[in-house]
Copies of this chain bind each other. A is one copy, B any other.
Amino acid sequence: MKAIVNIYLKEGVLDPQGKAVHHALDSLGFDSVKDVRVGKQIVLDLDAKNKEEIEKEVKQMSETLLANTVIEDYDIEIVE
């Protein structure tokens, strides 16, 4: 079973990496871009269990290690 954790900076938190990408896209002529935010996507391959159990465990992983919940939000998606 696979779990996908998307981690992104909270609204209002400055994103210098996103700013840099935005600037680079601008100078390449992509001028329709209004804003860029760069986040992380972590794909976990897990031993098969029931979905609820996995969701609970991945939530715990996110809170303790994967995300910095002071400045980051995350969402979890379970596939297969």
Q: Which residues of A contact B (CB under 8 A)?
A: 6-8, 18, 21, 24-25, 28, 30, 32-47, 49, 57, 60-61, 64-66
Contact = CB atoms under 8 A, between A and B. Distances in A.
12 contacts: A7-B41, A8-B43, A21-B42, A25-B65, A30-B57, A33-B46, A34-B45, A36-B43, A36-B44, A39-B42, A39-B43, A41-B41
Query: What is the copy number of this chain in the assembly?
Result: 2
Contact of A46 (B7, B34, B41, B64): B34
Nearest to A6: B41
B39 A35 contact: no
B28 A45 contact: no
For the complex of A and B, the 3 pairs showing the least CB-CB separation, nearest first, are A35-B45, A32-B47, A39-B41
